Every structure is written in C-alpha cells, then in structure tokens.
Amino acid sequence: MTDVENDRYRAPALDKGLDILELLASVEEGLTQAEIARRLGRGPTEFYRMLDRLVKRGYVTRIDGDRFALTLKLFGLAQLHAPVRRLASFAVPLMRELAEASRQANQLVVFDRGYPVVVAQQEAPGYWGISIRVGSRIGLFETGSGHVLLAFRSAGERERMIAENAGGGDVPVPLAGDILDRLESLRARGYEKMPSSQTVGVIDLSAPVLGADGVALAALTIPFIPLINTPAAPGLPETIVLLKETTRRLSKMAGAGMQADADA
C-alpha cells in the first residue's frame, strides 16, 4: 500500500491521541499541555479536548496541577491478555526445571490493577510444598513478589502502583523512607529474601523477569521450605542461584539479555 493510500485511511483524532500517549511514555516527570504541543509541533490549544478525554478515561493523570503523565492503565490492559499468556508459555518449562532442581514450588506474578497476581504456578516435585492458586491476588508490601515488582520500576511508576493498591486511583503516593531503602537495596542485590508474612518457617525468594528496558515484567518467586527429609535438596544459597539463573534466562527471552546478565 502506498503512502497516498495510507493517508486515505488516516484517523486524525486517533493519531493525535496516540501521539500524546507515545510522547508521555518517553518521559517520567510528565509534561504540561504547552510542552506537549511544542514537542509534537502543534498549536497549544489543539490538545485540550484530547487530554481531557484521556484523563477521564484513566490513561493520563494530572500531576503537580498542570502536568500530565501516563497512568498504569495501558500496562494493566496489556498484562491481561496475550503478553501474559506468552510470558507464561515461555516461563512454564523453565519453572518446571526450577522446581525439579530446587525441589521447591514456584510461581510467576505480575502487577494488575493495584495488586500482584499469580499467573502461573509450578508444584514442588515431592509430596511437600507451598502452592498458590493461579489468579490469586497477593499483597504488594507483604510479599517478595510485591517488593520485586515495585523495586524494578521508576519512582513515578511505583507511586502510581501504590495509589492503585490503596484504591486512590491514579493520584501518585510517595513511598515511605524505610520501604524505599529496602527496595533500593533489593534492586542492587537483584532479588528479595524475606520471611513469609503468611506462613511460619517459609522464606520468600523472589527475582525479576526484566524487559528490554530493565523494567520488571513479572516476579518469579519460590516459597522456600527447608527440607529436612530430603538430604540432596539444595539449601537456601543454592536455591537463590537457581532462581536468579531462571529469571536471567526468562529475561533474555523477553529481550533483556544484557541487563539480565548484569543482574545475575
């Protein structure tokens, strides 16, 4: 199809809305209406109605009064459909290998509309293990998965994730100092290790599956149980190595090979 034929089917209003979304996706601090117009080479009044509709539909939010920024709505929509299914289809064989090697269960978790959600689950190969139903919504602050999903996001994304979790819509919520320090430490370490807040004696081990931009697409988590009746089972340090190697391989499949290698 030629450029002339392509122009025949243009939808100017849709193009304008997509131009705004793509521009806002490229910045973290948000832009004013005038800045959006200038960067897109348009008049300052051309985007008022479009921005108003994007705000009302939840794709864009106002910050600092006169600035506009993307919400997580597009990300949430993407997580619900094919990308999650593709990620799970890639992950399941590696999750099975991880379960066999570690003798532990594991689950794949993504962020959706305020909560970490389990999208794939692999049982432990023995008769004893911790499993969580696919589709379960778990805690954002009380789980290793939640910590990982927060840690490997920008500051603005974290604040909007917390706002969604609190039921406050798209109004960003700043992080408290203690949790922020923990997330920064987690990011530098490359994984989370913490006592389970649900089950005594269980250690949550969680590491990120990274996209090409270094953002966590998902968290892969092992609810680690010391297995006293299985002498050959890997201990905690060995299991962490197995977990990080699995997420490195998954991240490479997602296009983050160099970043994942650095984190490993």
In angstroms, the CA 237 to CA 101 distance is: 13
The residue whose two tokens read 């949790």 is 179
* Region at 10 (left for phi over 0; alpha for psi -120 to 50; beta for the rest): beta
Q: How large is the average pLDDT for residues 64-79?
A: 78
**Which pLDDT band holds residue 3 (cuts at 50, 70, 90)?**
very low
How much is the pLDDT for 113?
A: 80
Predicted confidence (pLDDT) at residue 1 exceeds the cutoff of 70: no
**Which pLDDT band holds residue 168 (cuts at 50, 70, 90)?**
low
**Which pLDDT band holds residue 241 (cuts at 50, 70, 90)?**
very high
Over residues 131-150, the pLDDT tens digits come to 788 888 999 999 999 999 99
Which residue(s) pair with 194 in the sheet? Answer: 204
**Which pLDDT band holds residue 264 (cuts at 50, 70, 90)?**
very low
Over residues 172-230, the pLDDT tens digits come to 555 666 788 889 999 999 999 999 888 878 999 999 999 888 889 999 999 998 877 76
Token pair of 249, please? 């391989």
Over residues 50-62, the pLDDT tens digits come to 999 999 998 899 8
User: Do residues 100 and 110 touch, judged by C-beta distance below 8 A?
Assistant: no
Share of the chain above pLDDT 90, in %: 43
Predicted confidence (pLDDT) at residue 123 exceeds the cutoff of 50: yes
Predicted confidence (pLDDT) at residue 256 exceeds the cutoff of 80: no
Mean pLDDT, rounded, of the chain: 84
Q: Is 158 exposed, middle or buried (0-12, 13-18, 19+ CB in 10 A)?
A: buried
Predicted confidence (pLDDT) at residue 79 exceeds the cutoff of 70: no
Rounded to an integer, what is the distance from CA 140 to the centroid of its chain?
11
Q: Which residues of 11-49 are buried (b: 16+ CB within 10 A; e: fewer)?
A: eeeeebbebbeebbeebeebbebebbbeeeeeeeeebee
In angstroms, the CA 183 to CA 97 distance is: 28
How much is the pLDDT for 81?
A: 58
Neighbouring C-beta atoms of residue 130, cutoff 10 Å: 19
Q: How large is the average pLDDT for residues 233-255?
A: 92
**Which pLDDT band holds residue 169 (cuts at 50, 70, 90)?**
low
Go through the domains of the chain in sequence order and give each one's CATH number.
3-70 (1.10.10.10), 76-263 (3.30.450.40)
User: pTM above 0.75?
Assistant: no
